[in-house]
Amino acid sequence: MKIAVCIKQVVGREWQLRLSDDKTWIRDQDASFELNEPDAYALEAALRLKEQHGGEVVVCSAGPSRVVQALREALARGADRAIHVEDGALASADAFVVAGALAAALRDEHFDLVLTGLQSDDQGFGQVGVVLAERLGLAHSTITMDVAVEDGGLRVKRELEGGWFQWIRLPLPALLTIQSGINQLRYATLKGIMAAKKKEIRSVAAPADLAARQRIVSLYFPEKSKQTRMIAGAPDEAAKELVRVLREEARVF
């Protein structure tokens, strides 16, 4: 099975966010970056399918030159080769532009299966995978918690709200968006890291004519609406005060 996995590099969770001067994006020059969490699970799902059914796993990321680092990490975990859609503007582009760029990079390779994460931790559109499916003409299913290959097609477990699930059959080729927790992740071994150095990372340009369908006019920190009583002081003082208010005011025990 020839599988593509779309991975996004996002700012690290622990990084203290700062806004750009025009307040339409973040100032991420000094940010740390990491692999978008569900994308790591998507990569793992692809590696497991390859182990069972053979084939090839190709990772693809659209963004500035820094995303090569995420691609290298994926290669170290076991992906066979990488495609980098290189364009600085793609870091803050909307879902249609990103999906268009990914579609152009993947289309001619005719993958049997394309995996993406269900949502990015930065923009959080929850769109790129499904829009990409439509652009590539693939059947799709989302929020996937299990993938089985059956009778030349797929049987996938889709997460519904509140602890419900549903199995869905799909023909191949298909695109799935993967939910965190679908499997247990593997990490790169030293051998994997060494092997990754010899693997191909092909750089391609994004098509010039992609039209955005949404635009950020301003970005700001949320206003506090609820009156939260913040308990200050050294840990032991704060703890004592918390226990007191829980007993005497909130009466929770």
Partner 1 sequence: MVLVIAEQRDGKLNRASWEPIIAAQGLGGPVKVALLGQGLEAAAAELAAAKVDEVVRVEHASLEAYTADGFVQALAAFIAAEAPAHVFFTHTYQTRDFAPALAARLDRALITDVVAAKPHGDGLAFTRPMFQAKVVADVVAEGPAPHLVSFQIGAFKVDALVRGDTAAPVRAVDAAVDPAAIRQRPEAPFQEAKQAVDLSQAERIVSVGRGIKAPEHLEMAKELAAALQAELAASRPICDAGWLPMDRQIGSSGQTVAPKLYLALGISGAIQHVVGMKGSRTIVAINKDPEAPIFEIADYGITGDLFEVVPAIITALKA
Ligand X SMILES: Nc1ncnc2c1ncn2[C@@H]1O[C@H](COP(=O)(O)O)[C@@H](O)[C@H]1O
Ligand Y SMILES: Cc1cc2nc3c(=O)[nH]c(=O)nc-3n(C[C@H](O)[C@H](O)[C@H](O)COP(=O)(O)OP(=O)(O)OC[C@H]3O[C@@H](n4cnc5c(N)ncnc54)[C@H](O)[C@@H]3O)c2cc1C
Return residues touching ligand Y (CB under 6 A).
Answer: 13, 118-119, 143
Structure token pair of residue 135: 């652009």
- The window from 43-51, 55-63, 66-74, 232-240 that contacts partner 1 (CB under 8 A) reads 232-240
Is the dihedral angle over the CA atoms 183, 202, 172, 175 positive or is it negative? Answer: positive
> CA–CA separation, 145 vs 179, rounded Å?
6
| Candidate residues 79, 90, 97, 170; the one interacting with ligand X per rule CB under 6 A | 90
In whole angstroms, the minimum distance from the beta carbon of 95 to ligand X comes to 5
| Count of residues of this chain found to bind partner 1 when the rule CB under 8 A is applied | 79
With residue 154 as reference, give the H or E element that holds it: strand 153-159
In whole angstroms, the minimum distance from the beta carbon of 221 to partner 1 comes to 6
Q: Are strands 33-35 and 9-11 parallel, antiparallel or unpaired?
A: antiparallel
| Candidate residues 47, 130, 147, 206; the one interacting with partner 1 per rule CB under 8 A | 130
CB nearer to ligand Y: pick between 54 and 163: 163
- The window from 20-28, 76-84, 125-133, 222-230 that contacts ligand X (CB under 6 A) reads 125-133
- Between the alpha carbon of residue 48 and those of residues 86, 214, 216, the distances in Å are 28, 36, 38
219 binds, among ligand Y, ligand X, partner 1, none (CB under 5 to 8 A by kind): partner 1
Structure token pair of residue 59: 């990772």
Structure token pair of residue 63: 């963004």
| Candidate residues 35, 36, 112, 140; the one interacting with ligand X per rule CB under 6 A | 36
To the nearest 10 degrees (0 to 180), the angle between helices 37-53 and 68-77 is 40
User: Does residue 147 touch ligand X according to CB under 6 A?
Assistant: no
Query: Any idea what DSSP says for residue 27?
Result: -
- The window from 59-67, 75-83, 190-198, 208-216 that contacts partner 1 (CB under 8 A) reads 208-216
Residue given tokens 């799902």 in the structure block: 45
Phi, psi of 79 (to 5 degrees): -65, 150
72 binds, among ligand Y, ligand X, partner 1, none (CB under 5 to 8 A by kind): none
In whole angstroms, the minimum distance from the beta carbon of 180 to ligand Y comes to 7
User: Does residue 117 touch ligand X according to CB under 6 A?
Assistant: yes
